[in-house]
Amino acid sequence: MIKLTSADLHIHTCLSPCGAREATPAVMVRAAQEMGLEAIGFTDHFAPQPSLACPFYDRQGLRVLDEMRAELATVPSGLDILV
């Protein structure tokens, strides 16, 4: 049996070059909670090796995932969160 959930699986945060500065992972989790979502998925743009990518990714790298996971670990949510 499949359980249908309310979810947003395409969320960008301030960790993406295209994300709004105030859209931290914690802020986005709180917004999802307020909307009554059960699951969210972060889809920030990043390049594992930014030096090999286009300038869009200059300040990116695997640290983006580490930063996001560290921040999310401090935010109690009750949501299913995909990174």
At 14-37, the pLDDT tens digits run 888 788 889 999 999 999 999 999
Quick check: 1 pLDDT over 70? no
Q: What is the pTM of this model?
A: 0.80
Between 50 and 6, the higher pLDDT residue: 6
Count CB atoms within 10 A of the CB of residue 23. Answer: 17
Confidence of residue 51 (pLDDT cuts 50, 70, 90): low
Write the CB contacts of 11 (distance below 8 Å, at least 6 apart in sequence).
Answer: 28, 32, 40, 41, 42, 43
Say what the pLDDT of residue 5 is. Answer: 77
Whole-number pLDDT of residue 14:
87
How many alpha carbons fall within 13 Å on the CB side of residue 34? 6
